Amino acid sequence: MFSIPGKQAVSITPRAAAQIAKLMEKEGHSGLRIGVKKGGCAGMEYTMEYVDQADPNDEAVEQDGARVLIAPMAQMFLFGTEIDYETALLESGFKFNNPNVADACGCGESINFKDLDTLAAEQSAS
C-alpha cells in the first residue's frame, strides 16, 4: 500500500462528499472504490464502483459521511487527487483533479499518467 504518514491519499470536496454520502445511504453501500484500468484513447480510465465491504488493502479516506476506498493498484496513480462533483446544464458527475496526469484525451474520459519513476520521486519529495 502506498501512503505518506499524516497525508490523506485523496481529498474530497464538500460537493463530492455530499453526493457520495447521499448515494451510499440511498443504496446501502459502505463505500465508493476508485481505481484505474487500461482503456480509452489516452491509455487509462478511472473506475468507480460502490462496494459493500472494503478490501483489507484498500486505502480509505472518510469525510462528512463519505467513504472513498482506493484500490491497491491505483494508489500511486491517485495520490494527491482532488475528487469533486460538478453539475452543469447537460451533465453532472465526479471530476478528478489529478496532479499525476501527464495527458488526457479531448473528451476527458481517459488519461495518461507520468511514468512510475517520476511519480515515485515527486511523491517522495512531498
- Give the chain's domain count: 1
Residue 74 lies in a domain: yes
Q: What whole-number distance in Å separates Cα of residue 68 and Cα of residue 54? A: 10
Please write the tens of the pLDDT for every residue from 61-70: 999 999 999 9
Residue 92 lies in a domain: yes
Residue 5 lies in a domain: no
Please write the tens of the pLDDT for every residue from 3-59: 555 567 899 999 999 999 998 888 889 899 999 888 777 678 888 999 998 889 999
Sheet holding 66-70, edge to edge: 59-63, 66-70, 31-38, 44-51, 111-113, 101-104
Residue with more model confidence, 106 or 46: 46
Residue 1 lies in a domain: no
Q: Which residue has the cell 480509452?
A: 40
Q: What does pTM read for this prediction? A: 0.76
Domain extent, residue 40, equals 10-125
Residue 2 lies in a domain: no
Q: What whole-number distance in Å separates Cα of residue 65 and Cα of residue 63? A: 6
CATH number (domain holding residue 94): 2.60.300.12
